């Protein structure tokens, strides 16, 4: 859960930064979250929301900020995918992943079953956002399918959390509550979409006429 005290601390530190350092700092944190597993130490959404608040004060341009966040998020996932494809399950031996091996293997199996949808949904939870790109690379997912899910998730996540900070302004308690509900709302919507898609797919398969071989007694 996002801590309002963390937001207050970061706002105090970067409030007087020029625009370029803010873009660079936020871009680096968002990129590192998925490319270098920094999400285990610092959720990228916190940096994005703080930058959105700074944008609401006129310190940075919110449109440029959205572009920086989305680009850094998508590029970070691409690097994470490459790392997972290159090193495979050897990554499970890293100290901060070793204790989570059971959860990671469960996520890896989910990726193999649900593919790109799992990548998209994973963008909206801190733990899976940090590891999902590498797991996608381990699973040998088709890169084009991964890229589509990656860009779609990065766009919705990046723009959504930037605007959350921008429109909430300095209302830190409101930001804290809203940040949690945004993630929950997106997850619920994505799960509902997946269930609907699966139901429609099964219904279409059941309604197809039998092939000629089945019709011949």
127 within a domain of the structure (yes/no)? yes
Instruction: Domain of residue 24: give its range.
Output: 4-208
Residue 214 placed within a domain:
no
Q: Which residues contact 169 (CB under 8 A, 6 or more apart)?
A: 53, 56, 57
- State how far the Cα of 41 lies from the Cα of 95, in Å rounded to an integer: 13
Q: What is the pLDDT of residues 145-167, one digit of tens each?
A: 999 999 999 999 999 999 988 88
Taking only the tens place, the pLDDT of each residue in 38-90 is 777 777 888 898 889 889 888 899 999 999 999 999 999 999 999 999 988 88
Q: Is residue 217 part of a domain?
A: no
Flag whether pLDDT at 174 surpasses 90: no
Which residue in 189, 174, 157 sits closest to 45, CA to CA? 157
CA distance 72 to 79: 10
Tokens at 125, concatenated: 């939870």
Give me the number of domains the chain comprises.
Answer: 1
Q: Count CA atoms within 13 Å of residue 186 on its CB side.
A: 21
Predicted model pTM: 0.74
Residue 148 lies in a domain: yes
Cα dihedral: 116, 117, 123, 128 (round 10)? -80
Residue 139 located in a structural domain = yes
Kindly list the distances between the CA atom of residue 176 and the CA atoms of 4, 43, 183, in Å, as whole numbers in the listed order. 6, 13, 12
Q: What value does the mean pLDDT take over residues 114-126?
A: 84
The residue ranking higher by pLDDT, 68 or 95, is 68
Domain assignment present for 80:
yes
In a domain, 121, yes or no: yes
215 domain residue, yes or no: no
Q: Which pLDDT score is estimated for 175?
A: 55
């Amino acid at each position: 859960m996002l801590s309002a005290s963390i937001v207050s601390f970061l706002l105090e530190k970067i409030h007087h930064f020029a625009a370029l350092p803010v873009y660079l700092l936020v871009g680096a944190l968002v990129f590192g979250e998925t490319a270098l597993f920094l999400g285990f130490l610092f959720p990228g959404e916190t940096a994005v929301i703080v930058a959105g608040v700074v944008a609401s004060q006129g310190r940075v341009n919110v449109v440029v900020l959205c572009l920086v966040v989305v680009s850094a998020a998508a590029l970070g996932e691409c690097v994470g995918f490459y790392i997972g494809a290159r090193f495979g399950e050897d990554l499970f031996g890293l100290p901060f992943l070793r204790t989570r091996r059971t959860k990671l293997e469960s996520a890896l199996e989910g990726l193999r079953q649900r593919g790109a949808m799992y990548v998209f949904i994973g963008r909206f939870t801190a733990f899976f956002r940090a590891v999902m790109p590498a797991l996608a690379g381990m699973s040998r997912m088709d890169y084009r399918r991964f890229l589509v899910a990656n860009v779609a998730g990065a766009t919705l996540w990046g723009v959504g959390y930037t605007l959350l900070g921008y429109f909430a302004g300095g209302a830190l308690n409101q930001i804290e509550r809203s940040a949690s509900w945004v993630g929950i709302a997106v997850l619920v919507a994505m799960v509902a979409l997946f269930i609907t898609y699966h139901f429609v797919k099964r219904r279409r398969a059941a309604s197809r006429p039998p092939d000629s071989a089945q019709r011949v007694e």
